[in-house]
Amino acid sequence: MKVLIIGSGGREHAIAWKVAQSPSVDKIYCAPGNAGIAEYAECVAIGAMEFDRLAAFAKENQIDLTVVGMDDPLVGGIVDVFEAQGLRVFGPRKNAAILEGSKAFSKDLMKKYGIPTAAYESFTDADEALRYLEKAKLPIVLKADGLALGKGVLICNTLEEAKAGVKEIMLDKKFGSAGNCMVIEEFMTGREVSVLSYVDGKTIKPMTSAQDHKRAGDGDTGLNTGGMGTFSPSPFYTKEIDEFCRKHIYQPTVDAMAAEGRPFKGIIFFGLMLTEDGPKVLEYNARFGDPEAQVVLPRMKTDIVEVFEACIDGTLDQVDLEFADNAAVCVVLASDGYPVHYEKGMKIEGLDAFRGKDGYYVFHAGTAKKDGNIVTNGGRVLGVTATGSDLKAACANAYEAVEWISFANKYYRHDIGKAIDEA
C-alpha cells in the first residue's frame, strides 16, 4: 500500500521510519517532509495546511492511508476534508481534535466527567480575569485557550507577573487568536509524564510512558522549548499509577468524547503530573509528542500500519500492542541560541555513522539539503536516539552517538534521562 505522512519534523521522521518497517507498505510520501525523511519517503512540496492540494495529491497518487503528524492541520479539520472525499486518514476529526485545540474545552470536559486535573476558571473578558487574580493563590498558571506552539502557558509567581500575563495573552494578543479566551488554573507540583495512546473511538491502548525535558538548559533551567530530549519508559510511572490512569483518566476521556458526540480516533497524548493527590491531567494533545515519538516508536514492536488501520476501522480491541522490554533516550541537537536567536545553514557532518547500527537513530527535525550537503534549518536540528537494556545503558549509548555528529553551532543538554538516578 501507499502511505502519505503529513508534517516535517523529528516526529514525522520517526513515524516514517516506523511505517517503513511495515510489510504492507510499498511506498511512502511525506508532505512537506525534510532531508532525513527523504531516506524513506518521497517528499512532496505541499504545506501541511493546504488541505485541498493534499487531498488532490492523495487522490491522484492513489494513497491508501494518510497519517497526520501535526496539530495545526488536525485542529484545522484536515481529517474532515479527506473523509469528505472518500480518503482513508488517521487522526481525529475537527470536532475531536478540539481536545488539543481548546484548553477551555478540555478543562470543561474534565470537570464535567470527573477526570482529575488542576482547578481552573475560563475567561473571555480580560477585566474579569484580572479581578479573579486579585484573590487567587500564587503561583498561578495562565494558559491561552488555543494552539500557541507550546508557548501559551505562563507560570506566574507574583500578582504583577500574572496581571502582565493576562494583558499579553488577552489584550496584546501575543499568541494571536489563541488568546481570545484563556484558562487560569491552580499551580501543581510533581513529576511530569507523557503517555501517548492509540484510540479508535471507543477502545484506548496506551503506549509505553515517556518524559520530555522542556527547558533549554541543563538541570531544567532556561526558557521553555519544544522539547530538548526525552526518555522512555518513565521510572516514576509505576504499575499502580498506570492502573489508576487507565481507570480514571484514559478510558473516561475516550468515553467522554464519545458521549459528547465527538468520538476520538487517532492519538491522544496525555500530559500528566504525578501530584501528591495522585495523577492529574496537565494537557491533552491530539497527536504524537515531539520528541516523545522519537523514543516511543523505536520501542514499539507491533506493526504501526496495522494499528492505524484498526483505529480507523474501530477494531483496536483486537490488536495486541507490544513494546520492547528495553529503554530509549533521545537527545535533541539544537542550534546554539534556540529558542530565541540562532543561525541556520551550518553543514552537518557524521550522519553516515548511524548507518547499519542497530539501536541508534538520528531523526531530522530542522534540516535541509543545500549544494549536496545536509545543513541545519531550524532551532531543533536532530534527535539522536539510542536504545539500551535499561535507561542507564540507553543514556550512555545516546550520548556516545551525540559525539558522532558535528555542526558549527551544535548545542544540547547533557542531562537527558539522568533524572532516573532519583527514581
Contact call for residue 283 and ligand AMP (CB under 6 A): yes
- The owner of cell 532531508 is 35
C-beta separation of 110 from 281 below 8 A: yes
C-beta separation of 234 from 304 below 8 A: no
Instruction: Give whichever of 143 and 299 is closer to ligand AMP, judged by the CB atom.
Output: 143
DSSP string covering 131-155, please?
A: HHHHTPPSSEEEEESS--TT--EEE
Instruction: Give whichever of 162 and 282 is closer to ligand GLY, judged by the CB atom.
Output: 282
CA distances from 284 to 173, 193, 329 (A): 23, 12, 23
Of 108, 128, 185, 130, which is closest to residue 152 (Cα–Cα)?
Answer: 185
Question: What is the rounded distance in angstroms from the CA atom of residue 131 to the CA atom of residue 143?
Answer: 17
Contact call for residue 282 and ligand AMP (CB under 6 A): yes
The correct pick among 20, 44, 118, 130 for binding ligand AMP (CB under 6 A) is 118
Strand partners, 192: 273
Q: Provide the residue count of the chain.
A: 423
CB of 143 to ligand AMP, least distance (A): 6
C-beta separation of 154 from 144 below 8 A: no
Q: Which residues bind ligand GLY (CB under 6 A)?
A: 150, 212, 227, 285, 289-290, 292
Contact call for residue 161 and ligand AMP (CB under 6 A): no
Q: Which residue's Cβ lies closest to ligand GLY?
A: 289
Contact call for residue 348 and ligand AMP (CB under 6 A): no
Residue 256 C-alpha cell reads as 467522554
3-state SS of 14-48 is HHHHHHHCCCCCCEEEEEECCCCHHHCCEECCCCC
Q: Per CB under 6 A, which region of 122-130, 183-191, 233-241, 243-251 contacts ligand AMP?
A: 183-191
54: part of which helix (H) or strand (E)? helix 51-60
CB of 295 to ligand GLY, least distance (A): 11
Of 117, 50, 83, which is closest to residue 108 (Cα–Cα)?
Answer: 117
CB of 171 to ligand GLY, least distance (A): 26
> What string marks each residue from 194 to 213 as x (binds ligand AMP by CB under 6 A) or -?
--------------------
Contact call for residue 141 and ligand AMP (CB under 6 A): yes
Span 210-229, contacts to ligand AMP by CB under 6 A? 214
Rg (CA), the chain: 21
Of 336, 98, 100, 313, which is closest to residue 217 (Cα–Cα)?
Answer: 336
Question: What is the rounded distance in angstroms from the CA atom of residue 146 to the CA atom of residue 166?
Answer: 14
CB of 79 to ligand AMP, least distance (A): 22
> Which partner from the list ligand GLY, ligand AMP, none does 246 bind, CB cut-off 5 to 8 Å by kind?
none
CB of 422 to ligand AMP, least distance (A): 17
> Which partner from the list ligand AMP, ligand GLY, none does 164 bind, CB cut-off 5 to 8 Å by kind?
none
CB of 98 to ligand GLY, least distance (A): 16
> Which partner from the list ligand AMP, ligand GLY, none does 227 bind, CB cut-off 5 to 8 Å by kind?
ligand GLY
Contact call for residue 113 and ligand AMP (CB under 6 A): no
For ligand AMP, the binding residues (CB under 6 A) are 118, 141, 143, 150, 153, 155, 185-188, 192, 214, 271, 282-283
